[in-house]
Structure 1
């Protein structure tokens, strides 16, 4: 008998008056994978996570966590589940360690794992500092530490990198990868395609409450448009003609050209420019392919998902 999915939501719907926050979505998260729920603000990501934690009751549909449901098992659904919705909150006048001690007492998790989780999130050397002096990224990592106190099988993180500076994003990304490597199932929401691409195995992309893509990141890459480059030369008019002759998509962007096509064709264009005596003053990557596809899906979504769910037996999750 196959192991149950970590999260199995089917036709989940939630409305608030005339607003449909989540519109009949289906999500399957296999055990041991890093799964991303991606979409712009207002897509319904946080509402979905609130339903998972029992903070919001769906109007229709079913939701199971490790084979348990709220209807059958009540709060037992959350056995082995931890995480936070939006940003974690702490007592700013208390140290990181003292905050964890209080949370462990409230949760009944015990304090024996505090040193371990502080080390996991790289806060062992700051445990005695008051949380009011922590950076935003440190507070986010302390939130992960608090979630890990109960030694969960599923960690749920709502926009864990939101509001972080580049260093904080790097640290959070590395932390999620370490947790995934330990075998923990991670379900995270994000509005950043780049963040999800680098750490997730599979993804659900949402727009205004509906699913517009569901499947592996690898399959999404296959549907992404070619990489775009921004090119500036001493003669953009001539460069545009050469680019079109190379079979590239070209658009004028201010004093440059946005050129989209395979890397081989871009290389051929650069060689043609040099051969024609046109100086190349600028060549840079513009919009990443997956980012371009994300905007295509979330700004003008098709009426049905561009890729249907795999069945549990054939999902792209790591076992």
Structure 2
């Protein structure tokens, strides 16, 4: 694998008047990995992706794509780079195939076989002659990926590719990204969904209001995640809370019961205690996954645990 990073951003800062969109963030993406840029809306994800495409420039810091920078190499930075910011746009009155042909023309055109290939990759071969205006939102997202792949890129950048999709569309998009990654393509995608990133990405940077809350591997992040929480509703929540504390479990009051954190074995033992005490169990559901809980801890500060102070080790450099 090349030692040149696909993306090497160091101490990037971007301000708009008194508003700081990015505050000295550093992100390093190795070739051949699927990298997630995760954070709630307004965290600065799209601002950073716009910089990669040269749509905006940083006020400070350095940014290189495959060793090239906008200051030194200009538009050549985009050689081998493709993707889309927010949702891709097409001519609705033209077919999916015709849209791809027109877009390919901006790069000097491609062989018809390449159009066939990318349509097959995104599972749109059967609908290629239909007008894009007749496509579902998920199909238009996949057509956006196809338009990016026409360039045969080394780096594919996707901004919230599953945003707005129904469950079936999310499943299809995840499967598509996994297929692309298995081919050796470097993928950098942004998302506000921890579950999506966990299933797709090797490494991740979690952002909060323009700063980096964590960057490193998903495996390391998973090791730091809190225990799984279960939502438990009974006829006597006070007594249930005492039983949980008796087993050393962490309990949080919710609007409709208790959130109990612990291993599956501990929860099973607690349920046995509840039933044995003659308390009726009215509800038992999984709460947020451990990584989702950690994501909210990192990005949504509370008086007891400000997000910036959660002690999770962050690694530097590329992660493969």
TM-score bracket, shorter-length normalisation: over 0.9
Decide whether aligned partners of structure 1 residues 282 and 172 sit closer, same or farther in structure 2, where only a CA change above 3 A counts.
same
How high is the TM-score relative to the length of structure 1?
0.94
Q: CA deviation at 1:255?
A: 3.7
Equivalence for 2:304: none
Q: CA deviation at 1:294?
A: 1.0
Q: CA deviation at 1:109?
A: 4.2
Q: CA deviation at 1:151?
A: 0.6
Q: CA deviation at 1:241?
A: 1.6
Q: Distance between the aligned counterparts of 1:306 and 1:290, measured in 2?
A: 13
Q: Distance between the aligned counterparts of 1:303 and 1:17, measured in 2?
A: 27
Q: How many residues align?
A: 314
Q: Distance between the aligned counterparts of 2:292 and 2:309, measured in 1?
A: 20
Indicate conservation of the 8 Å contact 1:161/1:168, yes or no.
yes
Q: CA deviation at 1:273?
A: 2.0
Verify: 1:151 aligned to 2:157, yes or no: no
Equivalence for 2:6: 6
Q: Deviations over 1:154-182 (max 9, x none)?
A: 00000101111111111111100010011
Q: Distance between the aligned counterparts of 1:304 and 1:287, measured in 2?
A: 18
Equivalence for 2:116: 115
Verify: 1:175 aligned to 2:176, yes or no: yes
Q: Which runs of 5+ in 2 are unaligned?
A: 302-306
Secondary structure at 2:21's aligned position in 1? strand
Indicate conservation of the 8 Å contact 1:202/1:215, yes or no.
yes
Q: Following TM superposition, where does structure 1 have runs of at least 4 consecutive aligned residues deviating by more than 4 angstroms?
A: none
Equivalence for 2:313: 307
Secondary structure at 2:220's aligned position in 1? helix
Indicate conservation of the 8 Å contact 1:211/1:305, yes or no.
no
Q: CA deviation at 1:74?
A: 1.3
How high is the TM-score relative to the length of structure 2?
0.94
Q: What are the residue-to-residue correspondences of 1:79-90 with 2, within 5 Å?
A: 79-90=79-90
Verify: 1:224 aligned to 2:230, yes or no: no
Q: What are the residue-to-residue correspondences of 1:1-319 with 2, within 5 Å?
A: 3-112=3-112, 113-300=114-301, 301-302=307-308, 306-312=312-318, 315=319, 317=320
Q: Distance between the aligned counterparts of 2:128 and 2:116, measured in 1?
A: 9
Secondary structure at 1:107's aligned position in 2? coil
Aligned CA-pair RMSD = 1.6
Indicate conservation of the 8 Å contact 1:212/1:305, yes or no.
no
Decide whether aligned partners of structure 1 residues 168 and 74 sit closer, same or farther in structure 2, where only a CA change above 3 A counts.
same
Q: Distance between the aligned counterparts of 2:168 and 2:2, measured in 1?
A: 40
Secondary structure at 2:93's aligned position in 1? coil
236-245 vs 184-193, greater mean Cα deviation? 236-245
Indicate conservation of the 8 Å contact 1:70/1:77, yes or no.
yes
Decide whether aligned partners of structure 1 residues 191 and 53 sit closer, same or farther in structure 2, where only a CA change above 3 A counts.
same
Indicate conservation of the 8 Å contact 1:82/1:155, yes or no.
yes
